[in-house]
Structure 1
Amino acid sequence: MTLSAAANGVFAIAPTPFHDDGRIDEASIDRLTDFYGEVGCDGVTVLGILGEAPKLDAAEAEIVAKRFIKRAGQLQVIVGVSAPGFAAMRALARTAMEAGAAGVMIAPPPSLRTDDQITTYFRQAEEAIGEGIPWVLQDYPLTLSVVMTPSVIRRIVMDSQACVMLKHEDWPGLEKISALRGFQRDGSLRPLSILTGNGGLFLDFEMERGADGAMTGYAFPDMLVDVVRLSRSGARDQAHDLFDAHLPLLRYEQQPGVGLAVRKYVLQQRGVIASAAQRKPGATIGATAKAEVDYLLARVARVDRRAALSRPHAAE
């Protein structure tokens, strides 16, 4: 089940569940993985930026990756292996693939500026992890401050037969998807899976521009699954109606700095993880923010009953 350029659907970006004291919560990893399978996801991506990977040491990262992979069943698992140095990247990539991962994801370090620096880095990263390991190119300039034009992405992909997927989360990025699909139509870019991020905030139109699905961590991955399915089937209005119902909660969850805290809170309310805790340093949300999220959930539930949660937040 190695990753290929034909990959599509929804690959959920998984948060790393922790106990309140910061220990890894393996039981919640199991529940979370089962949940993603039950709601129709095609895969799961672990140890991404919102998986709090930088807060884990090397041994803990291996534990988390292996736990998700062991539980995944038919879900394809992509493991984020980005690291300051290639030695750590190589070690985690090889461990993940030996454990049964479908592929790995590599993000550029923020120090890259020129097009040549960017393309050279990814060529060296592929050499470091080893030929034949399928990998995902993460394009996330809002957080990583590395700007990759469509032409640079084309260079990276054409230099590497093992780069099979783009995790696209530029903003604005709709024109980038159109440009990449245009390259494919004129024969200058080989087949490439494009899954989109940014919390799903633009998924409705990203699908129409040619995306193959989503790779993001919104707390209702079941909605993302439905929007992708409806878009593929040509049910445009239904896809947009469902998406629009969730948009206020999507927007709230997308707040810089506290988005992961909101996402973990909702997943806890859904009974998927035991604690909304982040490993320190990490943001928290207070009683007022929780009440706002509860209000948004109630509004979403008018259209999508999956948001009708009966677990009011605990008083603080």
Structure 2
Amino acid sequence: MPPLPRLSGVHPILYAYYQPDGRLDRAALERQVDLCLAAGCQGIAVLGLVTEVFRPSTAERLDIVAWAAARIAGRVPLMATVAEVSVHGQLDFIAEAKARGADWVVLQPPPVKGVAESEILRFLGTVADRAVLPVGIQNNPLMMDVSVSDSALLALHRNHPNIRFMKAEGAAVSVAAFALEASRSCDVFAGHGGLEWPTALRSGCQGLIPAPELVDAQVAIWRLWSAGETERAEALHRAILPIIVFMSRSLPLLLAYGKRLMALRMGLDPVHPRLPEPAVSAFGLEEIGRFAALLGPLADQPAPLSPALRRLAGMA
């Protein structure tokens, strides 16, 4: 494949919202795209853990890719996670995702427990070598049942040149050595909602793939950091950190409350479930409402850091 521009910055991964009958809500997906683009994101992702990738059918996942690509209209790159559990299934999905507008695909270790690491690497490498789109690898030992070592990821990248970026999720102190080595030849993205976003930047990561509810703040942190205003970036990160922590304890918490916080910030009410749905509590909903009031709504048009976020970070 020809050389591609290096990826960096904030690439939020969109939630799947549903209509009252349980079908996917295209308008809610498009609204997320609009607001993330208005916030200045450098890319958009779909079909990872935040999009509940294993809940939609294959046809629905391809619809999500097509809807997002149509709304983005080439303004930023679109990543799509591949969920099929066989090599042929993944290759077929990648071909269809490309036809519907995806620019990159993200592979995860297949969710099959008890498989030797060497077999996982062989699976991922085979897909990467034959894929018709550039490939990234997501490794998340804290939230995924199957993961591989950092040394295995480095070997995977060296042996399969179509692997162009890595999403390395774990404590920043454990990711740092990997990021330093890997970032010489591929793009390394942090995750976990941006829990350690400034630390990840110091460690060698070039980007972040978070959920979208804090996209305006996290893009602002990226911009401040890139401009050398690291103290202001750190102040803004400290201001939103309690919100990230609230939702980052587990994936069910993120899907229960992060999705609702995003809905409040984009004016979507109510959030319709697709059963089975993670449970929420009255207290949790009160906290989400408080967070939404602190953050304010997401802007429909490109704008500087909002007055609400400036106040929250002590910049007003």
Q: Does 1:169 align with 2:164?
A: no
**Residues 106-185 of structure 1 aligned to structure 2 (within 5 Å):** 106-110=107-111, 111=113, 114-127=116-129, 130-170=130-170, 172-182=171-181
Aligned length: 298
CA distance in structure 2 between the partners assigned to 1:306 and 1:194 by the alignment: 31
Q: Does 1:44 align with 2:35?
A: no
CA distance in structure 1 between the partners assigned to 2:282 and 2:123 by the alignment: 44
SS at match of 2:133: coil
**Residues 85-124 of structure 1 aligned to structure 2 (within 5 Å):** 85-110=86-111, 111=113, 114-124=116-126
2:265 equivalent in structure 1:
270
Provide, for residues 215-260 of structure 1, a one-character-per-residue CA deviation record: whole Å limited to 9, x for no partner.
Answer: 1104111111111122222212111100011011111111322211
2:196 equivalent in structure 1:
202
Give 2:215's match in structure 1, choosing from 218, 221, 243. 221
1:70 equivalent in structure 2:
70
CA distance in structure 1 between the partners assigned to 2:87 and 2:7 by the alignment: 26
Does structure 1 conserve the Cα–Cα contact (< 8 Å) formed by 2:169 and 2:175? no
SS at match of 2:123: helix
TM-score between the two structures when normalised by the length of structure 1:
0.86
Change over 3 Å in CA distance of 1:5–1:191 after alignment to 2:
farther
SS at match of 2:10: strand
1:29 equivalent in structure 2:
29
Does structure 1 conserve the Cα–Cα contact (< 8 Å) formed by 2:62 and 2:100? no
CA distance in structure 1 between the partners assigned to 2:273 and 2:256 by the alignment: 7
Change over 3 Å in CA distance of 1:146–1:59 after alignment to 2:
closer
CA displacement at 1:176 relative to structure 2: 2.2
After superposing the two structures, state which structure 1 stretch, 200-209 or 265-274, moved more: 265-274
CA distance in structure 1 between the partners assigned to 2:3 and 2:275 by the alignment: 33
After superposing the two structures, state which structure 1 stretch, 140-149 or 41-50, moved more: 140-149
Does structure 2 conserve the Cα–Cα contact (< 8 Å) formed by 1:3 and 1:164? no
Does structure 2 conserve the Cα–Cα contact (< 8 Å) formed by 1:22 and 1:277? yes
CA displacement at 1:52 relative to structure 2: 1.6
CA displacement at 1:263 relative to structure 2: 1.2
Does structure 2 conserve the Cα–Cα contact (< 8 Å) formed by 1:196 and 1:206? yes
Change over 3 Å in CA distance of 1:141–1:9 after alignment to 2:
same
Change over 3 Å in CA distance of 1:248–1:262 after alignment to 2:
same
CA distance in structure 2 between the partners assigned to 1:182 and 1:156 by the alignment: 13
Does structure 1 conserve the Cα–Cα contact (< 8 Å) formed by 2:46 and 2:79? yes
CA distance in structure 1 between the partners assigned to 2:200 and 2:44 by the alignment: 20
1:57 equivalent in structure 2:
57
Change over 3 Å in CA distance of 1:4–1:262 after alignment to 2:
farther
CA displacement at 1:62 relative to structure 2: 1.2
1:290 equivalent in structure 2:
285
Does structure 2 conserve the Cα–Cα contact (< 8 Å) formed by 1:16 and 1:29? yes
Does structure 1 conserve the Cα–Cα contact (< 8 Å) formed by 2:264 and 2:292? no
SS at match of 2:11: strand
CA distance in structure 2 between the partners assigned to 1:83 and 1:251 by the alignment: 31
CA displacement at 1:299 relative to structure 2: 5.0
Which runs of 5 or more residues in structure 2 are unaligned?
Answer: 297-304, 311-316
Change over 3 Å in CA distance of 1:147–1:23 after alignment to 2:
closer
CA displacement at 1:212 relative to structure 2: 0.7
Does structure 2 conserve the Cα–Cα contact (< 8 Å) formed by 1:32 and 1:272? no
2:238 equivalent in structure 1:
244
CA distance in structure 1 between the partners assigned to 2:91 and 2:144 by the alignment: 21
Change over 3 Å in CA distance of 1:218–1:25 after alignment to 2:
closer
CA displacement at 1:113 relative to structure 2: 5.0
CA distance in structure 2 between the partners assigned to 1:57 and 1:194 by the alignment: 29
SS at match of 1:45: strand
Does structure 1 conserve the Cα–Cα contact (< 8 Å) formed by 2:33 and 2:68? yes
SS at match of 1:258: helix
TM-score between the two structures when normalised by the length of structure 2:
0.86
Does structure 1 conserve the Cα–Cα contact (< 8 Å) formed by 2:79 and 2:106? yes
Q: Does 1:235 align with 2:229?
A: yes
Does structure 1 conserve the Cα–Cα contact (< 8 Å) formed by 2:172 and 2:199? no
After superposing the two structures, state which structure 1 stretch, 77-86 or 146-155, moved more: 146-155
SS at match of 2:37: helix
Provide, for residues 25-79 of structure 1, a one-character-per-residue CA deviation record: whole Å limited to 9, x for no partner.
Answer: 1111111111111101111111111202211112111111100111112021111
CA distance in structure 2 between the partners assigned to 1:218 and 1:38 by the alignment: 12
SS at match of 1:144: coil
